[in-house]
Amino acid sequence: MQPGRSSSSTRSRRPSTVRPEDAEGAKPAIAVAGLAAGRGRMPAFRDVTFTVPPASLTVLVGPNGAGKTTLFEALLGLLRPQAGSVRILGRAPREARRYVGLVPQSARLAHEHQLAGREFVAAAFRARRLGLPLARRETALAVGEALAAVEAQDLADRRLGTLSGGQRRRLLFAQALVNRPEILLMDEPLAELDPAAQRTVVGLAARLRDRFGLTIVFSTHDVNPLIGIAERVLYLAGGRGVIGPIEEVVTGEVLTKLYGVPMEVFEARGRRFVVQDDAVMAAAPEEVAAAR
């Protein structure tokens, strides 16, 4: 799927030929250089540089206030950088917005509980054909494809207010997919879910990457559920960021430099925790090499 194609026949949701293992040498889907961004005079972070290859899953992690939401806003073109640059599929974020889908936090569904699943998904669709009959047909096709992609056809006629947290999260995925994006930003998709539902969401994200070649940035406070799934982690803290393989980034040495204060990383029951002054600051995964 290439930028600029707009017909429903060329932009239908079909399995991708891009494999994650081939993506590292490809042109980056996301390229950020020297980025500083924030809503006040002081940026939430500064001098953040990273690239995200296509058909990959990158975890975005950091403590509250580190700038995870700010970064998403910059990637979506909703927030102008104070310094540096952002390129999405080689374009400015505003120009590339149609190719980026956002899975928001489920709390935003509070005022939509009377909508049926298909109505909720259709509300986000941008029809490209002129004329009401053609637009309706295009909408129905796109909604059906999006529901099928996340295996949520059985939720099409159910009211949001009757669904579980995991089912609502699945419809949020479908809504983010309805315009057939190439990049998917997921804002805390594991929040308020039990471990079983978290595994379902992580598995769905992996399938969207592997089957459709989507580039995914997955924001979370705990990357343990993504062990062996995500290729890399982007860790924001102390106004800075570092990206790399999980086992190389989540170490005492790296995080001490990132936070600017002594940090320790210890393992317990197959999980890795980041600690300062005996307070657990954030959770991260066990050795990825062992998990793979």
Domain residue ranges of the chain, discontinuous segments joined by +? 20-291
- How much is the pLDDT for 280? 44
Question: Cβ(147)–Cβ(153) under 8 Å?
Answer: yes
135 phi-psi bin (left φ>0, alpha ψ -120 to 50, beta other): alpha
pLDDT of residue 133 exceeding 70, the answer is no
Q: What is the pLDDT of residues 13-42, one digit of tens each?
A: 544 444 545 555 679 999 999 999 998 889
Q: pLDDT, tens digit, for every residue of 146-183?
A: 999 999 999 999 999 899 888 988 999 999 999 999 99
| Dist. CA 133–CA 262, nearest whole Å | 63
Pick 20-291's CATH classification: 3.30.1300.10, 3.40.50.300, 3.30.70.3040, 3.10.450.50: 3.40.50.300
pLDDT band at 291 (very low <50, low <70, confident <90, very high): very low
Strand (E) or helix (H) holding 47: strand 45-52
CB 275 within 8 A of CB 281: yes
pLDDT, position 95: 96
- The edge-to-edge listing of strands for the beta sheet with 279-284 is 264-268, 271-276, 279-284
According to the model, what pLDDT value does residue 230 have?
Answer: 92
- Choose between 6 and 255: higher pLDDT: 255
8 A C-beta contact, residue 173 and residue 204: yes
Percent of the chain with pLDDT over 90: 56
